[in-house]
Structure 1
Amino acid sequence: MPTHTIKKGLISTLAALTLASSVAAEDFPTRDIRLIVPWSAGGGTDGISRKISNLAEEQLPVSIYAENISGAVSATGLTQMMRARPDGHTLSVLTYDSVITVPRSQLVPGYSLDKMKPIARITQEADAIVVSKRSGVTSFEELIKTAKAKPGSVRIGVMPEGSGPYLAARRLEEMTGASFNIITYPGAAAAESEALLSGEIDAAIASLGDFAGLIDSGDLLGVVEFSSEQNPSYPGVPPISDLGMNLESGSFIILVAPANTPDEAIQTLETAYHEAFASDEFQEWVAQVGVTPSWLGSEEVDEWIEARQAETFALMDELDL
């Protein structure tokens, strides 16, 4: 067969594939969308992901159905998403562990954020400092003043070394000159709550939602959130940015698709989810569960992930964690 005939055939084939891809992107979505939630059913990530997806599908001609695939600190479900056809019909969500814990520990071979394409950040659940009533502390400023004047006298409970709350406590020491007696609890907020009530510790770091019952009863007081946005569920607890400091810590929910998903599909999904995010129903619902709605679009969230990971890894290197 003549060379020019082969070349013409290749060109025609490539043109047909390009046209087919373009048409497919324009027609998106063509079938129901699978949302892989990489955590067990019933948790906070599961509930928020399902709620906003139920609202987002109202903007689309298809349904969005959630499937829980847990394991390997979220990596099992995300790995399935990464291997799916990059056409926008399979999505998943990232949390703190997906961005920090799994990549840092190299827990799962082949796992990489480069194999994902962010769509949007939906929420942030900031870590916060709560103090016990019996500690006598009534404000963040008072807590820091005491920890500076009497190093090691303020006992503060956090999750184990390497966790977000642990890193937040160490960063706060560096930023303020305070010196805490940091005590770790594998049981997270449940164990910390018991320690606060018994007088074993004076303060603890976790989300305000984790301590909601004890805050409502008056046994605990929230004094600051490690966030740049006011939590609408706790208007009396200031974000640390209001105190002139920049320290973000906590979990978040970010929607992602497989890498190489067409931009047109990403844009369609981003628009649908933004409509859901901005709805009164979602805003009122998310306030009830104590999580801060916090939107970043596809272009912004990509940069935010890189910055958050780089900052956290640098701190972990500094602390040899």
Structure 2
Amino acid sequence: MFYKSLKTTVGAALGAAILATSVAAAEFPTRDIRLIVPWPAGGGADAISRKISNIAEQNLPKSIYVENIAGAVTATGLIQMTSARPDGHTVGVLTYDSVITLPRGQMVPGYSLDNMKPIARITSEADAIVVSKHSGIESYEDLIARAKENPGQVRVGVAPKGSGPYLSVMQLEKLLDVDFNVITYAGSSAAEAEALLSGELDAAISSLGDFSGLLASGDAKGVVELTSVQNATYTDVPTLKSKGHDLQTGSFIILAAPANTPDDAVATLETTFKAAYDTPEFQDWLAQVGVTADWLGSDEVVAWIDDLQTKTFALMDELEL
């Protein structure tokens, strides 16, 4: 009699738990979603994250709020993301450094892509060389000629060693047989933008979108984009391919959640962000800032990350980085 009663009680409790789980999944999100951007406010990753989140939350019963947690080449913010309760209410933004620089160097204990579940890739951005108006450089040809005439004198700002822009400048020096004065800046491209504005740098390497404000004001000028595809927004900036060289480098924006986040929550997030991505508002905004819309869903982006790491790590081995 007791056993029968116990079975009934356990069965009822189990059924209630399953029902509660199903209801929770159906009601997701039950509170505001925290989107961690692991760079300071003001950079390209921050702007893109805020824009798509503002649109995405319009189709949710709760808000999405952005929190900038910079440090350790994105590791500080992303470790906080992976340490959060895996219920879909905490999401992180991954960039090149998150996928390449940190795993390559194994530089931060506790950081691992294995602790994350990718949701989608939102954008991709080719690296570009932007020159300060104080430099007197007017074109790609001017830049290369000055570098050849003054080895080690042309000041080029990039993100720290191992980053995408740092890898780009190393490849450029080898490809073009030039020697730049490479200066690294921790944090987002905002630091390089300030250095271009003040004349501290002659040039910098990042995406055109990262420097959209300076380009619009005339304080900086794009002289080449490291790709083979002409930018539809910055049509006056030539591709490196058009200059006779085949080199394509750049960054991207990926959204990810903690590894054990339920598939239903990830699916809801993916669907919500894809709807925001598809809106004319987001697409038009990306075009205005010169960033390429480049969606990959949760399944596709995992394979893409694996392929990118394989190719990039091989290149780094070649350059001994």
Is the 8 Å Cα contact of residues 119 and 298 (structure 2) preserved in structure 1?
Answer: yes
How large is the RMSD of aligned CA atoms in angstroms? 4.1
Residue aligning to 2:72: 72
Alignment pair present for 1:182 and 2:183: no
Please give the residue correspondences for 1:130-209 in structure 2 after superposition, counting only pairs within 5 Å.
130=130, 157=156, 159=158, 161-171=161-171, 178-187=176-185, 188=192, 191=195, 194=199, 205-208=205-208, 209=210
SS of aligned partner of 1:235: coil
Structure 1 letter corresponding to 2:296 = L
Aligned counterparts of 1:115 and 1:205: Cα–Cα separation in 2: 30
Alignment pair present for 1:306 and 2:301: no
Structure 2 letter corresponding to 1:118 = P
Instruction: Give TM-score, length-normalised by structure 2.
Output: 0.76
Q: How has the CA–CA distance of structure 1 residues 9 and 184 changed in structure 2, closer, same or farther, with 3 Å as cutoff?
A: farther
Q: State the Cα distance separating 1:3 from its structure 2 match.
A: 11
Q: How has the CA–CA distance of structure 1 residues 109 and 204 changed in structure 2, closer, same or farther, with 3 Å as cutoff?
A: closer
Q: How has the CA–CA distance of structure 1 residues 219 and 248 changed in structure 2, closer, same or farther, with 3 Å as cutoff?
A: closer
Which consecutive residues of structure 2, in runs of 5 or more, have no partner in the other structure?
A: 186-191
Q: State the Cα distance separating 1:5 from its structure 2 match.
A: 10
Cα distance per residue 1:93-126 (max 9 Å; x no partner): 1122222222233332111111111111122232
Q: State the Cα distance separating 1:264 from its structure 2 match.
A: 1.9
Q: State the Cα distance separating 1:259 from its structure 2 match.
A: 0.9
Which consecutive residues of structure 1, in runs of 5 or more, have no partner in the other structure?
A: 198-202
Give the stretch that moved more between structures: 188-197 or 97-106.
188-197
Aligned counterparts of 2:31 and 2:212: Cα–Cα separation in 1: 41
Residue aligning to 1:268: 268
Structure 1 letter corresponding to 2:211 = D
Structure 2 letter corresponding to 1:157 = V
Q: How has the CA–CA distance of structure 1 residues 17 and 205 changed in structure 2, closer, same or farther, with 3 Å as cutoff?
A: same
Aligned counterparts of 1:210 and 1:105: Cα–Cα separation in 2: 28
Residue aligning to 2:211: 210
Instruction: Give TM-score, length-normalised by structure 1.
Output: 0.76
Please give the residue correspondences for 1:88-107 in structure 2 after superposition, counting only pairs within 5 Å.
88-107=88-107
Please give the residue correspondences for 1:120-139 in structure 2 after superposition, counting only pairs within 5 Å.
120-130=120-130
Cα distance per residue 1:175-231 (max 9 Å; x no partner): xx542223311254555674775xxxxx753322437646874974523x2346553
Give the stretch that moved more between structures: 207-216 or 110-119.
207-216
Is the 8 Å Cα contact of residues 161 and 184 (structure 1) preserved in structure 2?
Answer: no
Is the 8 Å Cα contact of residues 196 and 220 (structure 2) preserved in structure 1?
Answer: no
Q: State the Cα distance separating 1:50 from its structure 2 match.
A: 1.6
Give the stretch that moved more between structures: 10-19 or 45-54.
10-19
Q: How has the CA–CA distance of structure 1 residues 221 and 74 changed in structure 2, closer, same or farther, with 3 Å as cutoff?
A: closer
Aligned counterparts of 2:213 and 2:307: Cα–Cα separation in 1: 30
Aligned pairs, how many?
A: 309
Give the stretch that moved more between structures: 154-163 or 73-82.
154-163
Please give the residue correspondences for 1:111-126 in structure 2 after superposition, counting only pairs within 5 Å.
111-126=111-126
Structure 1 letter corresponding to 2:69 = I
Is the 8 Å Cα contact of residues 138 and 223 (structure 2) preserved in structure 1?
Answer: no
Aligned counterparts of 1:226 and 1:2: Cα–Cα separation in 2: 75
Give the stretch that moved more between structures: 109-118 or 295-304.
295-304
Q: State the Cα distance separating 1:17 from its structure 2 match.
A: 4.8
Residue aligning to 1:259: 259
Residue aligning to 2:293: 293
Q: How has the CA–CA distance of structure 1 residues 244 and 303 changed in structure 2, closer, same or farther, with 3 Å as cutoff?
A: farther
Aligned counterparts of 1:76 and 1:196: Cα–Cα separation in 2: 28
Alignment pair present for 1:237 and 2:250: no
SS of aligned partner of 1:31: coil
Cα distance per residue 1:7-56 (max 9 Å; x no partner): 99988876665554344323322222122222223333222212211100
Aligned counterparts of 2:201 and 2:71: Cα–Cα separation in 1: 31
SS of aligned partner of 1:313: helix
User: Quick one: percent identity of the two aligned structures?
Assistant: 55
Please give the residue correspondences for 1:221-236 in structure 2 after superposition, counting only pairs within 5 Å.
221-223=222-224, 225-227=225-227, 230-236=230-236
Q: State the Cα distance separating 1:80 from its structure 2 match.
A: 1.6
Give the stretch that moved more between structures: 161-170 or 269-278.
161-170
Aligned counterparts of 2:273 and 2:141: Cα–Cα separation in 1: 37
Aligned counterparts of 1:112 and 1:103: Cα–Cα separation in 2: 7
